[in-house]
Amino acid sequence: MTATVDTPGYLSLAPLCGGPLPLDGARTLPEVFARTVARFADDVALRTLGETRVLTWNQYRGRVADVAGGLTGLGVRRGDSVGLMLANRPEFFVVDTAAQHLGATPFSVYNTSSAEQVAYLFSDAANRVVVTERQFLPIVRAALAIGGSVDHIVVIDGAGEDGTLTLDGLVAAAPAGFDLAEASAVVQPADVATLIYTSGTTGPPKGVELTHANLIAQWNMLVRTWPIKPGGRVVSYLPAAHIADRTIGIYLANNLGYTVTCCPDASRLGAALVECRPTIFLAVPRVWEKLKTAVEAQVAAAPAEFRAAFDDAVEANLARVRAEQAGTEVDAATARRASAGEEAVLAPLRAKLGLDAAEVRLVGAAPTPMPVHEFFAALGLMMAEVWGMSELSPIATWNPPGRIKLGTCGTALPGVEVRLAEDGEVLVRGPIVMRGYRNQPERTAEAVDEQGYMHTGDVGRIDADGYLTIIDRKKELIINSGGKNMSPANIEAELKSGSALIGQAVCFGDARPYNVAILVLDAEAVPAFAAEHGLDGSNLASFSEDPAVLAEVGAGVARANAKLSRIEQIKRWKLLADEWLPAGDELTPTSKLRRKPIAAKYAADIEALYAG
């Protein structure tokens, strides 16, 4: 990739890899889907764990035609919205793709949403149809009792009771002579292909409108910068309402003929990886952290001989990785140890994890601690950190192959301009920028300026090679009582890296003389620590009060403080006996911190830390 810094803080990129793009000529997602079906007709498109259900691309297309016809029969037309509240299962992909073919706008609801939250989405999207399953039907009904004007509820695993439609009933509603190709001919590049509702860390969610042109531009860019080969494999396990799972399971798969393995329960991800052996794996930092904890627990329980071999292999390969990052070479002895460890320990371990075929390993959506980056890099699974947001379709920068800079978000995609405002806010312009926020023209105008730059709210820096590093969210920076600016995200990343027992950390210090932290145990690290120290790990409340646990957490805070400047260091902290789960009071469905609710819920604890 060729990058030039034209002016301080401004990054532009020259096009790469001349010649026709794989998607050149495609104007809409239905056109891309038709091309993929023709090429991969008899290959597997969708499958469930254990292959209890399998659809080839031809069968996928047939089901899309059936459902698109049914939606047409229910009155869905170009520009209408279709709500989906489904787990990661083949029907989700079928219904979403079917709606695309009508020029309609499918959107997903987080399965952990309350009735009030669902009612807000239905009111904002104005969908006339919602497709769901029995386990979510009570929430859908409760939401409709509050607001929204949905005419039809389709329950894909239901029996058609209480005025709902079954999936067969939906298909039967298709008008005679319905033709999928004819129906999709009305779709235009500027049509909204999906609504992505932000998870609402502050206030009600905003509906991000992404067009067919946005999403096709995104994949034109991505296939020019990474070796994304057609016909690969991915696992769909993240919430379908999040742009990350849509990006991998729908837009990548439908563009390049990937096989999607549906994993409806994220707790079964380990089994899904082994069964699927993905060629591309995308995860948020928390998933990578959990994988790291799992590997460390397995190693700790292994015989001493294996532990020694693992430690030596990781040490040697970490030295190699650090040398590569610094542009130097390791000594011959270390190189031999790294090679021997690769063959004897690391390659078999990658196979055991199900990541031995993963050619592209991505991480994004939140800061990733350097120890996590280096751990997987030493295992031969170097992650490429990406950066973007739903409003950017969703990726604006990522680390190019062979030129990954750990700890950075990489360089801008070709055709995307990334620059820094005077206050360090990252601004982005290009064909991936959203059309706008649904029903919120004022907020759209605030986010996208007259020059077409998306004001992301992230504060970053760009180095001389054009690599972007995100410092923090603009509105979340801590300014202490002495006027010093700090990034809570960086401090929290160091805290989590300080001890395996620290699963979540929240730093406070705005307008205060020093920083304090609320810490939460990593429930997955508890069993190994409990076994090693002869403790009962079954009760988090008593476990969190044990002197050995407090000593380890305190040592972790000290290790973090050693890497922080004096003003950033944590002076006092409190360990909670709780476990924070996604979509709870403290975390969004994608495990981002809900800072304001946390500050309100634990206000007494925070004040007590300062009162001392």
Please state, in angstroms and rounded to a whole number, the distance separating the CA atoms of residues 165 and 543. 49
Q: How do residues 260-296 score in pLDDT, each as one tens digit?
A: 999 999 889 999 999 999 999 999 888 898 899 899 9
Residue type, 140: V
Arithmetic mean of pLDDT over the chain: 90
Please answer whether residues 387 and 398 qualify as being in contact, where contact means their C-beta atoms are separated by less than 8 angstroms. Answer: yes
Which is nearest to 533 in space by CA: 574, 577, 501? 501
Report, as an integer, the average pLDDT of 530-555.
91
Q: Which long-range contacts (CB under 8 A, 24 or more apart) does 119-124 make?
A: 119/143, 119/144, 119/146, 119/147, 119/148, 120/147, 120/204, 120/205, 121/83, 121/197, 121/205, 121/207, 122/83, 122/147, 122/148, 122/149, 122/150, 123/147, 123/148, 124/197, 124/207, 124/438, 124/439
- The answer as to whether 413 is a domain residue is no
- The answer as to whether 267 is a domain residue is no
User: Could you tell me the pTM of the whole model?
Assistant: 0.83
- The answer as to whether 398 is a domain residue is no
Report, as an integer, the average pLDDT of 584-611.
88
Please state, in angstroms and rounded to a whole number, the distance separating the CA atoms of residues 12 and 3. 6
Instruction: Tell me the CA distances in angstroms from 45 to 55, 63, 219, 491, 502, one per residue in order.
Output: 6, 12, 19, 43, 39
Residue type, 534: G
Q: What is the pLDDT of residue 202?
A: 52
Please state, in angstroms and rounded to a whole number, the distance separating the CA atoms of residues 329 and 262. 42
Q: How do residues 314-358 score in pLDDT, each as one tens digit?
A: 999 999 999 999 999 999 999 999 999 999 999 999 999 999 999
Sheet holding 44-48, edge to edge: 54-56, 44-48, 259-262, 233-236
Q: What SS3 string covers 304-364?
A: HHHHHHHHHHHHHHHHHHHHHHHCCCCCHHHHHHHHHHHHHHHHHHHHHHCCCCCCEEEEC
Which domain covers residue 546, as residue numbers?
A: 477-611
pLDDT category of residue 524 using cuts at 50, 70 and 90? confident
The CATH number for 97's domain is 3.40.50.980
pLDDT category of residue 200 using cuts at 50, 70 and 90? low
Q: How do residues 397-437 score in pLDDT, each as one tens digit?
A: 999 888 999 999 999 999 999 999 999 999 999 999 999 99
Residue type, 460: G
Report, as an integer, the average pLDDT of 464-470.
95
Q: What is the pLDDT of residue 286?
A: 82
Residue 11 has pLDDT above 50, yes or no: no
Which is nearest to 608 in space by CA: 567, 573, 565? 573
Strand partners, 3: 13
Q: What is the pLDDT of residue 19?
A: 31
- The answer as to whether 405 is a domain residue is no
Strand partners, 207: 197
Q: How do residues 48-82 score in pLDDT, each as one tens digit?
A: 999 899 999 999 999 999 999 999 999 999 999 99
Residue 601 has pLDDT above 60, yes or no: yes
Which is nearest to 241 in space by CA: 180, 200, 294, 279? 200
pLDDT category of residue 24 using cuts at 50, 70 and 90? low
> Lowest mean pLDDT: which of 208-212, 322-326, 355-359, 593-597?
593-597
Residue 390 has pLDDT above 50, yes or no: yes
Query: Radius of gyration over alpha carbons of the chain, in Å?
Result: 25
Q: What is the pLDDT of residue 9?
A: 36
Please state, in angstroms and rounded to a whole number, the distance separating the CA atoms of residues 399 and 110. 29
Final residue belonging to a domain, choices 228, 261, 294: 261
DSSP 198: -
The CATH number for 573's domain is 3.30.300.30
Question: Which of 93-107, 116-130, 353-367 has the highest average model confidence (pLDDT)?
Answer: 93-107
- The answer as to whether 85 is a domain residue is yes
Report, as an integer, the average pLDDT of 350-371.
91
Please state, as a whole number, how many other Cβ atoms lie within 10 Å of the Cβ of residue 426.
Answer: 29
Please state, in angstroms and rounded to a whole number, the distance separating the CA atoms of residues 517 and 102. 50
Please state, in angstroms and rounded to a whole number, the distance separating the CA atoms of residues 253 and 260. 7
pLDDT category of residue 612 using cuts at 50, 70 and 90? low
Report, as an integer, the average pLDDT of 377-389.
95
Q: Residue 382 is encoded by which pair of tokens?
A: 């170097």
Please state, in angstroms and rounded to a whole number, the distance separating the CA atoms of residues 485 and 571. 17
Please answer whether residues 266 and 234 qualify as being in contact, where contact means their C-beta atoms are separated by less than 8 angstroms. Answer: no
Report, as an integer, the average pLDDT of 474-492.
80
- The answer as to whether 131 is a domain residue is yes
- The answer as to whether 574 is a domain residue is yes
Domain count, the chain: 2
- The answer as to whether 399 is a domain residue is no
